[in-house]
Copies of this chain bind each other. A is one copy, B any other.
Amino acid sequence: MSDLLIRNLRPMANDACDMLIENGRIARIAPGIDAPGVAIEDGAGAIAIPGLAETHTHLDKTMWDMPWYDGRKGGTLQDLVDNERHSRIPLGIDVHRQAMRHAIRLIRTGTTHIRSHVDVDTDHRLSLLEGKMRARDALAGAVDMQIVAFPQSGLMVRPGTAELLDEALSAGADVVGGLDPSSFDRDPKASLDTTFALAVKHGKPIDIHLHEPGELGAFTMEMIMDRTETEGLQGRVGISHAFCLGMPDQARVAGLIDRLARLDMRIFTTGAPSATCPSLLALRAAGVKVGIGCDGIRDTWGPWGQPDMLDRARIVGMKNKLRRDEELVALLDTATTGGAAAIGIADHTLEVGAPADLTLVAGETLAHAVVETAPRPLVVKAGRVVARSGEFCVEGVSMP
């Protein structure tokens, strides 16, 4: 929790001014602030925005900076899941090291909040969670990290997994994960009953990967909504991907979105170019809180991805055919304040009193800023400079 004076920045692309940070919070925004003895940074007239919020990724999976991996598979989701589970140890994917590499790159590109899934399965048990929790501890103060205990290999189809999720939630995981209760877990009722029971038992929110397309996905989504309502978990349940909301039947989609909004459920989208995706603007217009995320980055699943939320915002923007400035501003909000709200961070703004979690960005206007991918000049977390000119600069923590 640091004090800092940033001179000559443009909060939300408004006029240049200074920002005084005290005890890790924004204390004053005005021209020509005088704060004797406080450390000073020069904003050089750059736009300041709240830090980027990465709301859907997998820090335990990346092979970034490891030798090129030539064993990726095509085929079904099951093939990809099995290939990864069988490969982690032979390939030497050290979760702590890789999570550090991934998270530090996200910090360098302006991210101040991360929600990351971590695989919990009967082969690896809680070992991946442990590695990731060490990364979270090592980066405490540099980035806020929520960990989702994620049954990547299935819940009902792999007996023993529910018990491990229970342990993971006791051990420090923040969110109960899920994966395609119908198409992958083959028993949507039991799968969702188990997931919701864990959430109620631990008092923790839910975030379910739902790749199921079309009417199958809509069916499962309705089962999730039913339980959200019955259990009184309004505001506590999120659905990642939600590809079914990209189906062509617009009236059907509108009905689903309306109920999502009434239950204050959250949607996390990666803008997957190869899939049907929910409409960012339709969700936001209905009042659904939406976050975006990079998903997996160069892992055993696929070679693509960059650990940069503005790069991902571009993909989400292209996927959603966003062109106009007001649409780009909505996209930037989804990548910052709106996305943070979707993972339960209510005060992620540049208002006086808010935590001083922010990044400077290139560009003339907010719309321009979301299009530019130039290095971020300065990233500040709780008033502490964590990256400068795209380089990580937290004392005592280095890139492994």
Contacts and interface: CB of A to CB of B under 8 A. Distances in A.
Interface of A: 67-68, 70, 72-74, 271-274, 298, 301-304, 306, 314-315, 317-321, 323-325, 327-328, 363-365, 367-368, 371, 373
A318 B273 contact: yes
A183 B390 CA distance: 46
Contacts of A318: 272-274, 304, 315
Contact of A323 (B301, B363, B368): B301
21 contacts: A68-B363, A68-B364, A68-B365, A72-B324, A72-B325, A73-B323, A73-B324, A74-B324, A272-B318, A273-B315, A273-B319, A274-B321, A302-B323, A303-B323, A303-B368, A303-B371, A304-B314, A304-B317, A304-B318, A306-B373, A315-B318
A315 B306 CA distance: 12
Chain A: interface secondary structure? Answer: loop
B371 A304 contact: yes
A319 B74 contact: no
Nearest to A368: B68
A244 B304 CA distance: 26
Copies of this chain per assembly: 2
Contact of A72 (B304, B320, B323, B373): B323
Count chain B CB atoms within 10 A of each CB in A67, A70, A73 and give the residue with the most. Answer: A70
A327 B324 CA distance: 35
A73 B306 CA distance: 29
A274 B279 CA distance: 11
B320 A274 contact: yes
A61 to B, nearest CB: 14
A280 to B, nearest CB: 11
Contact of A70 (B72, B314, B325): B325
Question: Which 8 pairs between the two chains have the least Cβ-Cβ distance?
Answer: A273-B273, A68-B368, A273-B319, A274-B321, A68-B364, A273-B318, A72-B323, A303-B371
Nearest to A325: B70
A333 to B, nearest CB: 16
A270 to B, nearest CB: 10
A324 B303 CA distance: 8
Given A70-B365, A273-B318, 6 more contacts: A68-B367, A72-B325, A73-B323, A74-B324, A303-B368, A304-B318
